[in-house]
Amino acid sequence: MNLNELKHGKARAWIDEMVKICEPDQVYLCDGSKAEYDRLMQEMIDSGLAIPLKKRPNSVLFRSQPSDVARVEGRTYIASQKEEDAGPTNNWIDPVELKKTMTKLYTGCMHGRTMYVIPYCMGPVGSPISKIGFEITDSAYVVCNMIIMTRVGTKVLEALGTDGEFVPCLHSVGKPLAKGESDNGQWPCADMENKYISQFPEERTIWSYGSGYGGNALLGKKCFALRIASVLARDEGWLAEHMLILKLTNPEGKVKYVTGAFPSACGKTNLAMLIPTIPGWKVETIGDDIAWMKFGDDGRLYAINPEAGFFGVAPGTSDQSNKNAMESCKENSIFTNCALTEDGDIWWELIGYPAKGKLVDWKGNVRDALPKDKSPKGEEFAHPNARFTAPAKQCPCIAPEWEDPKGVPISAFLFGGRRPSTIPLVHQARSWNHGVFLGSIVGSEVTAAVISDQVGQVRRDPFAMLPFCGYHMGDYFKHWINIGKKTTAEKLPKIFYVNWFRKDEEGNFMWPGYGDNSRVLAWIFDRCDEKDNAVETEIGFMPKDGAINTDGLDVSAEAMKEILSVDKEGWKKEIDDIRKNHYPKFGAKLPKELMEELDALEGRLK
């Protein structure tokens, strides 16, 4: 598309200003069509940057530089005007200083490259919950990923009109080319000290430089959908959350929608695409990562998935752990930092089967395959953060209403982390504020898999939003408390805390997890209808004896009793840790309501 077709004056002025700074060889306005996607992908295949996969129709493999493999939290900034507004859990730089530093880096950064202008919509085009952005980038890889992950092109421009609001997002890989120079099939990016992923919350602007990977470069993902959207949500009275959205249908055909927030490595994508093991129940996906929720006219919260694709972690994904994810990326998908098999397919650790013959690992080295699908730490064939980008519409369990512009009404929020002890399989909050308290203490126990001196300690990730909240977490907790005052208690979602990861004294998991988590979802479903299947305890409502269906499960009555009981001594230690190590971080901005909930819990446990 020609830039002259852009009739939005403010957007055009911003693009012209960025062209002057970045000095690209040419400027191209993306239309989001299949022809455009295919042409850009073919250019990357021809240049040696992308490898077509013989075994997967219309799918390719990319290999990034070893310095550009994941989100770089240490180089991610919330550049609010006041440092206190960013809070203690975000990196802050004065916005004026940061703009100066980054403008220097951006000056001439697109020499030898095309500037792609991507008009994109987060959420179904035309939904009152959706928002529009423009991403400027010099990476065709980013364009193709954004076409899968968001709604791109002409229909977005039509919805924007001549004066609609948009979030301006500027991205460059930070590798200008001299005349006649090319990338020679090598992934372009800048050195670590020149990588910046910057959010300017007051301006609603995103600037990213130096990385071509994932959430650092696909600016609709964490940068817009969470860091900037959380600020918009606070100011406009809604919620932008790091949550999956599930549709549950019980054997009688009754439907409920629930969302869930889980820190990384806690089975979030597996839960989002769960295949239930109890007869008559159906689980479908609305979204696997992000939920935007606004109040409807009826006083209930309605959620959309602002994304149009999955950007899933590949290693550990298998037919056993997540068959629906495996089906989703069978075609029309982009793979990054996976291994390549001799017959032209991808492979990764814990894919469920060993590879044969030789593999090309994610660094491009040819190596003999192993007899099993595991590799020694540090010698992986696929990078531990290798990814697949797949269209959500290809998921076998995608719900028919996943793109309903109204959104879906939410009945329950789930929180959870990886906790080998103390936290039971499931418990329900006593009230909205008690639920906000539960969200605020979410965490996972640090295991020996992480090089850390904190093994055995709880690493807190409140609401699974710690790396993604665009402002002070104390104010974020207060925003959740305020949301609870916007409607009646019966119209608010009920709040639950789940823990699939309890272990026995030998270190074995006590609950089978995966599809059997549907048994816990069934109990939650009934609780949303106030079914009398719970007992009140010191920590909240818990399943009555026998209320969770264990037919056909290899879990003893003793084990069920243990994972569904209140560990009073464990909770007293938990309270001590929250009081000493967690809540003090938020200083004077910690809402008094949360301290009241902590004190009340302590009182009940005495």
What is the per-residue pLDDT across 52-92, written as a single tens digit (0 to 9) for each? 999 999 999 999 999 999 999 999 999 999 999 999 999 99
CA distance 81 to 372: 53
pLDDT level of residue 265 (50, 70, 90 thresholds) = confident
The DSSP element (H or E) to which 13 belongs, if any, is helix 9-22
Q: DSSP labels for 548-569? A: S--TT----HHHHHHHTS--HH
Question: Do the beta carbons of residue 75 and residue 199 sit within 8 Å?
Answer: no
Distance CA 540, CA 383 (A): 41
Instruction: Return the axis-axis angle of helices 140-149 and 34-46, rounded to nearest 10°.
Output: 140
Neighbours of 506 (CB within 10 A): 5
| End-to-end C-alpha distance for the chain, whole angstroms | 68
Asked if residue 309 has pLDDT above 50, the reply is yes
Q: Is 26 helix (H, G, I), strand (E, B) or coil?
A: strand
Q: Is 266 a catalytic residue?
A: yes
Spatial separation of the C-alpha atoms in residues 155 and 159, rounded to whole Å: 6
Task: Lay out the sheet containing 387-391: strands in order across.
Answer: 50-52, 60-62, 334-336, 387-391, 309-313
pLDDT number for residue 449: 45
Tens-digit pLDDT profile for residues 498-520: 999 999 999 999 999 999 999 99
Give the residue among 393, 408, 395 at the shortest CA–CA distance from 302.
408
Categorize the per-residue pLDDT at 181 as very low, low, confident or very high, splitting at 50, 70 and 90: very high
Residue 14: what residue type? W
- Range in 50-54, 418-422, 453-457, 493-497 the model is least confident about: 453-457
Quick one: which H or E segment has residue 216?
helix 214-217
**Over 80: is that where the pLDDT of 106 sits?**
yes
The dihedral built from the CA positions of residue 376, 379, 384 and 390, taken in this order, carries a sign that is: negative
Task: Count CB-CB contacts under 10 A for residue 374.
Answer: 12
Check pLDDT > 60 for residue 102.
yes
Residues 579-591 have a mean pLDDT of: 97
Domains in the chain with CATH codes: 3-30+72-236 (3.40.449.10), 241-305+402-605 (3.90.228.20), 311-391 (2.170.8.10)
**What span, in angstroms and rounded, lies between the C-alpha atoms of 213 and 142?**
8
pLDDT in tens, 406-425: 999 999 999 999 999 999 99
| Contact indicator for 294, 264 with CB cutoff of 8 Å | no
pLDDT at 452 over 60: no
Query: Residue range 6-24: average pLDDT?
Result: 97
DSSP state of 375: -
pLDDT one-digit tens code per residue, 311-346: 999 999 999 999 999 999 999 999 999 999 999 999
Label residue 446 by pLDDT band (50, 70, 90). confident
Q: What is the CA radius of gyration of the chain?
A: 24
Give residue 1's pLDDT band: very low, low, confident or very high (50, 70, 90): confident
pLDDT at 447 (0 to 100): 56
Distance CA 111, CA 177 (A): 6
pLDDT band, very low/low/confident/very high, at 457 (cuts 50, 70, 90): confident
Distances (CA, A) of 277 to 522, 550, 557, 602: 11, 10, 19, 37
Please report how the helices 592-605 and 568-577 are oriented relative to each other, as an axis angle in degrees rounded to 10. Answer: 150
In this prediction, residue 455 carries a pLDDT of 56
Please, which pLDDT band fits residue 453 given cuts at 50, 70 and 90?
A: low
How far is the C-alpha of 237 from the C-alpha of 99, rounded, in Å? 29
- Catalytic position from the list 266, 338, 395, 469: 266
pLDDT confidence of residue 451:
45
Residues 424 and 422: their CA atoms lie apart, in Å, by 6
Phi-psi region of 511 (alpha: psi -120 to 50; beta: other; left: phi over 0): beta
pLDDT tier at 456, thresholds 50, 70, 90: low
Helix axes 9-22, 95-106, angle to 10 degrees: 60
Instruction: Determine the average pLDDT of the residues in 352-369.
Output: 97
Query: By mean pLDDT, which of 278-287, 447-456, 485-494 is the weakest?
Result: 447-456
Q: Nearest to residue 593, comparing CAs of 487, 502, 514, 482?
A: 482
Q: Average pLDDT of 464-479?
A: 98
* pLDDT averaged over every residue in the chain: 96
Q: How far apart are CA 135 and CA 169, in angstroms?
A: 5
pLDDT at 450: 45
| Residue 136 to residues 104, 105, 193, 580, Cα–Cα distance (Å) | 17, 15, 22, 45
